[in-house]
Amino acid sequence: MFGSVEMIIKESKNALVVPQDAVLTQKDRLGVFVVDENSQAKFRLITPGITANLQTEIVVGLQVGDEVVIIGQNNLKEDTMVQAFNE
């Protein structure tokens, strides 16, 4: 007989999170692509926190309201023009 156990080790209240797949490694640095005011993709360095349920907490590097690229980010280059849409 087998069972599944989930333990909560640490909980962050009011955490800023992004989909785990949005977090990329470039030149050994972690970051995400954000869309700037000119609709260009910019790689922003981040410090991640807890990752759970396919979401990654961002401790440093993003602010509430930043638009994070979550589709196609693996092929983006800095300053690429992007079209943002909300899901």
Summarize pLDDT for 58-86 with one digit per residue, the tens: 999 999 999 999 999 999 999 999 987 76
Per the structure, how many domains does the chain have?
A: 1
| Domain presence at residue 39 | yes
CATH number where 44 lies: 2.40.420.20
| Domain presence at residue 85 | no
Task: Work out the pLDDT band at 87, boundaries 50, 70, 90.
Answer: low
| Contact assessment for residue 39 and residue 32, using Cβ atoms and an 8 Å cutoff | no
Contacts for 46 with CB less than 8 Å, ≥ 6 apart: 23, 30, 31, 32, 58, 59, 60, 61, 62
| Domain presence at residue 82 | no
| Contact assessment for residue 57 and residue 12, using Cβ atoms and an 8 Å cutoff | yes
Structural domain harbouring 25: 17-75
| Domain presence at residue 2 | no
Residue-wise pLDDT tens digits, 1-33: 677 666 556 666 778 999 999 999 999 999 999
| Domain presence at residue 8 | no
